[in-house]
Structure 1
Amino acid sequence: MTYRGRHRRRRRGRALRAALASTAFALTAAAALISTSQATVADDPGALKPLTAADATAPLRLSEDLVPRRSLDRLSDAMGEPVGVGTVLADADRTLRTADDCSSDEREALPVEPAATRAYCWHADDTRTASAGAVTTSGDADDDGRWGANRVILSGWSRTAGGDDQARIAFVDAGDPDRLTYTWAMLVVPVDDGRDYRALGSDVSGLVWYEDKLLVTADEGRSLYVCDLDRIQRTDVDADAVGRVPGGFAADGDRYVLPAVGAYRLTGDEARFAAVSLDRSTAPDSLVASGPVAGDDERPTGLWRYSFSGERSRMGLLATSPDGTAHPDAAYATRVADVRGVLSHRAPGTARSRWYLARESDGPAGHGSLWRQDTDGIRTARCGADRTYLCWSGSAQSLSLWAETGEVWSQSGRVLFALPLNTIDSSLE
């Protein structure tokens, strides 16, 4: 049942592809005019504060709960042989518009400083009925940047249908930078011991694709659901329902479903995930996270990380103790609030990781800010005649570093965009 067409090459330290950065395009003048009347955050939130006390890190422990293999196999037996990512990409029925075809309103959501070098806009029918969330790529899944022969972007969305929330993933074929195509798969949870499934009802504020697993924030940030990219199932009934229906299985019109194979649940009552991403600069690779703290909340925002397992039998899963608990490897507190995207990366030859925090706008149409922070201090980009630091996309969801190309991917409402990490660092110096 396992898709075998992927590469497993490991190429740490591979040179970044600078050619991708040469495609920078100009933003509209309106995007560069940022009003100083927008609410701001503190000029200097300060350095990261390490959290070492047990009472600070204990709530961040995760309890692992894996779906029994028999339940997953029963669902596969009923729905047919699972398909691979390549099969889903070959079935793409939508095309992302390139930056030149995006409207001026769509382009105004892009960062001002540093500027995006690539941008694409989603099909209007999709943005009318759903809201965009997090992004991850095949650059997270494998450090050669590909999954099999494909370069892939996964974009998380949520929509409400019939009063119920549905989490969905857009599978984007990114092989041709000038023509990105995509199709949809619904995230589902097996029920009745694998005889049926239900929609995963959640927004998707965090998304990490590592090895053959996709980790998704859910349950209002209390959980990380785990899906297996080797267990994508094809639906066979085009109906509004979700799950088993007369004649087969349906997913509210989607042609594919991605069943959860497990979940990690935070053990602390107050702990929550707001954003997650992958850090390939640690050994072992790790998942980093931020917690949700509003701008008017006096509490600091939490940042923390978990190691991935090195056992081949647990490919793509987090490292756990014998009792099935994943423990945070490190935790910090920051005074940056309203964090919607988090990224951690340690550049070669440097002693510590840098944390990049994307802060959302305080208003419905404003720009947000992007901060780089470590235990020594903090920096942010500034732009415009008044040198404001409200230069980032106001509603940007998640940050994902495609290590092989050096690009950071994010999305803001109807726009998917990328820019090189080195240009981010240059803007923050």
Structure 2
Amino acid sequence: MKHRGRHRRRRRGAALRAALTGTALALTAAATLISTSQAEVGEDPGGLKPLTSAADTGRLRLQEHLVPARTLDRLAAGMGRPVGVDAVLRDADRGLREAADCSADDRESLPVAPAAGRAYCWDPADTAGAWRPAAVTTSGDADDDGAYGSHRVVLAGWSHSPTSGRPGERGLARVAFVDADDPAHLAYRWALLVLPVDGGRDYRGLASGVSGMVWYGNKLLVTAESGGADALYVYDLDRIQRTTVDGPAIGRVPGGWSADGYRYVLPAIGSYRFAAGRCAPSGPPCPGTLALDRGTAPDSLVAAERTAPGGDRRARLWRYAFSGDPARAGLLATDAAGRASAAEAYRTRASGIRGVLVYRKPGADRASWYVGRLPGTRDGHGELWRQDTAGARAAHCGADASDRCWAREAGSFSYWPQTGELWSLSDRMLFALPLAGLDRSLD
């Protein structure tokens, strides 16, 4: 399987871009269902303020904690040989429907401007309960040819409400492995995120919301929202395990291994914790959304602070460099003590950020930070802003030039360079749009 190599598939990429251009949805019907009379205009977050003092950057420092190899090996010995992404995709048992076949409520959750080029709704059984999507990453992040092995893949992270639904699944996190080889027929399979315990003799469900994910090489980095010192969890996509018992329990059970009915589990191989302790207004930032930036050397992980929409607390934006050591592929660059320091940090007046992306236009003298925000009233559509140190611009829509134009309850961003698309989620749909179109709406 190829995923560690950096082979370019130029012919395939050109053909894929042409196919996507020729088959992209106009989604005109969806746009007519969305009201463009948005009364609220959000606050201009202004330019980014660099954070350079040791006090500011020190709060962003992480301490790496890797699960011992013997723990992971003991778990694999008990559960059976781990499988990879291909095995999960071959076992896909659900399908995503194209926008034209989705409900009006599904389509109303899409952005007003810029409009989605392609959009898909999930199996109704998955959106009917207390599970909601919040994070997305793709094989465009994983490898610079846009594929993982022989597949184009989208990963979507979902969180379960901690206060509703069956007690056994409250607060859990899962990932949809989406086979995106055929843009007209997307299929997916679930895997539950878990943590090894008891030296690898058992595991438990990850009791944490997922608001950001980045797939880099064979590693999946996931935000932690459990309110503790953990900032990120790390998963190895070559260490997916099959369960053997279809039951409501999670972990080792009489007769084998169970995961609340899920066929696959993904055990964490490590975590990063804030060295300064738990997130707090005067301390480290509560972790929020993530994105990959390939415009730095080395590549870097971009993060945004999770704050309440419409609140007074302003968010921090920052990045960590990935390690250049082949033995640490997919992990952050650390010093001899295992500490990862922020390579760059800013403060923004924006609050309620749920999506972040950094992109450098060819010839531009500075990078642009795109942020998707929830509305302060927590209803209706959100806002999309592009910021740099000089100022900010918003996407506008409707006769009153509202900036409430982005997706409803929007999630994280992932840029796919091979197709030029930005991928994101609403609370009901998975969608993609050309980044060039997004820039036109902002300009």
Alignment TM class, shorter chain as reference:
over 0.9
User: Are the counterparts in 2 of residues 34 and 390 from structure 1 also a CA contact under 8 Å?
Assistant: no
1:35 aligned to 2:38?
yes
Query: Partner of 1:138 in structure 2?
Result: 139
1:181 aligned to 2:184?
no
Query: Partner of 1:243 in structure 2?
Result: 251
Query: Could you give the per-residue CA deviations for residues 238-295 of structure 1, whole angstroms, max 9, x where no partner exists?
Result: 0110000111101100000000000001223322111111111111110001102224
Aligned AA for 1:226?
V
Moved more, 269-278 or 284-293: 269-278
Give the whole-Å Cα distance in 2 for the aligned partners of 1:20 and 1:293. Answer: 36
Residue 6 of structure 1: CA displacement?
3.4
Give the whole-Å Cα distance in 2 for the aligned partners of 1:12 and 1:89. Answer: 21
Change (3 A) 1:263 1:7: closer
Question: Matched residue pairs, number?
Answer: 423
Give the whole-Å Cα distance in 2 for the aligned partners of 1:153 and 1:247. Answer: 33
Give the whole-Å Cα distance in 2 for the aligned partners of 1:382 and 1:21. Answer: 24
1:225 aligned to 2:233?
yes
Identity %: 56
Give the alignment's Cα RMSD to 1 decimal.
1.8
Q: How does 1:18-167 map to 2 (within 5 A)?
A: 19-22=19-22, 23=24, 24-26=26-28, 27-36=30-39, 38=40, 40-42=41-43, 44-129=44-129, 130-159=131-160, 161-163=166-168, 164-167=170-173
User: Are the counterparts in 2 of residues 303 and 334 from structure 1 also a CA contact under 8 Å?
Assistant: yes
Change (3 A) 1:58 1:393: same
User: Are the counterparts in 2 of residues 358 and 396 from structure 1 also a CA contact under 8 Å?
Assistant: yes
Give the whole-Å Cα distance in 2 for the aligned partners of 1:426 and 1:382. Answer: 11
Query: Could you give the per-residue CA deviations for residues 359-393 of structure 1, whole angstroms, max 9, x where no partner exists?
Result: 01233541111000011111111111111111101
SS in 2 for 1:274: strand
Query: Partner of 1:258 in structure 2?
Result: 266
Residue 403 of structure 1: CA displacement?
1.7
User: Are the counterparts in 2 of residues 9 and 144 from structure 1 also a CA contact under 8 Å?
Assistant: yes
User: Are the counterparts in 2 of residues 306 and 318 from structure 1 also a CA contact under 8 Å?
Assistant: yes
Residue 133 of structure 1: CA displacement?
1.4
1:410 aligned to 2:424?
yes
Residue 61 of structure 1: CA displacement?
0.6
Q: How does 1:305-384 map to 2 (within 5 A)?
A: 305-384=319-398
Query: Partner of 2:313 in structure 1?
Result: 299
Residue 25 of structure 1: CA displacement?
2.0
Moved more, 163-172 or 247-256: 163-172
Give the whole-Å Cα distance in 2 for the aligned partners of 1:295 and 1:232. Answer: 36
User: Are the counterparts in 2 of residues 213 and 227 from structure 1 also a CA contact under 8 Å?
Assistant: yes
TM-score by length of 1: 0.95
Aligned AA for 1:235?
T
Residue 216 of structure 1: CA displacement?
0.7
User: Are the counterparts in 2 of residues 48 and 377 from structure 1 also a CA contact under 8 Å?
Assistant: yes
Aligned with residue 6 of structure 2, among 2, 6, 9:
9
Aligned AA for 2:93?
D
Aligned AA for 1:262?
G
User: Are the counterparts in 2 of residues 7 and 146 from structure 1 also a CA contact under 8 Å?
Assistant: no
Give the whole-Å Cα distance in 1 for the aligned partners of 2:8 and 2:371. Answer: 27
Change (3 A) 1:18 1:390: farther
Aligned AA for 2:98?
T
Q: Which runs of 4+ in 1 moved over 6 A?
A: 12-16
Q: How does 1:170-209 map to 2 (within 5 A)?
A: 170-209=176-215
Give the whole-Å Cα distance in 1 for the aligned partners of 2:309 and 2:137. Answer: 26
Residue 11 of structure 1: CA displacement?
4.5
Give the whole-Å Cα distance in 2 for the aligned partners of 1:10 and 1:379. Answer: 37
Give the whole-Å Cα distance in 2 for the aligned partners of 1:354 and 1:135. Answer: 20
Give the whole-Å Cα distance in 2 for the aligned partners of 1:291 and 1:18. Answer: 37
User: Are the counterparts in 2 of residues 369 and 394 from structure 1 also a CA contact under 8 Å?
Assistant: no
Give the whole-Å Cα distance in 1 for the aligned partners of 2:304 and 2:411. Answer: 13
Consecutive unaligned residues of structure 1, counting only runs of 5 or more, are none
Residue 229 of structure 1: CA displacement?
0.3
Residue 12 of structure 1: CA displacement?
11
SS in 2 for 1:20: helix
Aligned with residue 402 of structure 2, among 374, 388, 394:
388
User: Are the counterparts in 1 of residues 62 and 340 from structure 2 also a CA contact under 8 Å?
Assistant: yes
Give the whole-Å Cα distance in 2 for the aligned partners of 1:297 and 1:10. Answer: 46
Change (3 A) 1:252 1:295: closer
SS in 2 for 1:9: coil
Query: Could you give the per-residue CA deviations for residues 280-325 of structure 1, whole angstroms, max 9, x where no partner exists?
Result: 1111110001102224433321000000001000010000011000
SS in 1 for 2:381: coil
User: Are the counterparts in 1 of residues 357 and 371 from structure 2 also a CA contact under 8 Å?
Assistant: yes
Residue 348 of structure 1: CA displacement?
2.5
